[in-house]
Structure 1
Amino acid sequence: MLVVQVFVHVLPEHVAAFTAATLDNATNSVLEPGIARFDVLQQADDPTRFTLIEAYLTDDAPAEHKATAHYARWRDTVEPMMASPRTNVKYESLFFPI
């Protein structure tokens, strides 16, 4: 299982809109057959910082996710809201109870 941790820093004036767009994306993403989980976390001491944790069941699932309408809508909506480009780290899951 591939787990991707995405780090996002949002401009303060866009936190509410970013949250709404990201929750829409997450709600649709967990319906995809190749996604085991899609967590949205907001940093407790800095509400402009978010972490998305995406767990994919197959090697093809990340590309399939990026081909969805909800991902494209999210990407295009939130891009101008970011204080800096988002970054990510990929992990191989060693223990991931489903």
Structure 2
Amino acid sequence: MIVKSVTFYIKSEYIKKFIEATLENQSNSIKEEGIKTFDFLQDSENESKFLLYEVYESENAMEEHLETEHFKKWINTVEGYFVSPRERNVYIPVSK
């Protein structure tokens, strides 16, 4: 299992477009075989801050997601909406 969290800060004039594009990407992403969870969240105190919380079956599934047509369409659409670079973190399970 691989967990990826990505935080975005979006220019205020693009918030609605970002939400629309990301909801479309989310609806396609959850259909992928290797994705267990794909949550899209907005900060309750800062409307321009968003989080993607993604759970993949494997690192390979995470890499395959980045090659899908819907991801490529999404990233090409939203890249200009960011106030700052995305904050990405990838987590792996801790086991004994």
TM-score interval for Structure 1 and Structure 2 normalised by the shorter chain: over 0.9
SS at match of 1:18: helix
* Partner residue, 2:84: 84
CA drift at 1:91: 1.1
- Aligned residue pairs total 94
Q: Normalising by the residue count of structure 2, what TM-score does the alignment of the two structures yield?
A: 0.94
Q: How does 1:1-98 map to 2 (within 5 A)?
A: 1-93=1-93
CA drift at 1:90: 1.0
Runs ≥4 in structure 1, deviation > 6 angstroms? Answer: none
Q: Which amino acid aligns with 2:37?
A: R
CA drift at 1:62: 1.1
SS at match of 2:36: strand
Give the unaligned 5+ runs of structure 2: none
Root mean square deviation, CA, Å: 0.9
Check 1:26–1:93 CA distance in 2 against 1; reply closer, same or farther (3 A cut).
Answer: farther
SS at match of 2:59: coil
Q: Which amino acid aligns with 2:41?
A: L
Counterpart Cα distance in 2 of 1:47 and 1:59: 31
Q: Which amino acid aligns with 1:17?
A: K
Q: Normalising by the residue count of structure 1, what TM-score does the alignment of the two structures yield?
A: 0.92
CA drift at 1:85: 1.0
Counterpart Cα distance in 2 of 1:35 and 1:47: 27
CA drift at 1:93: 3.8
Identity of aligned residues (%): 37
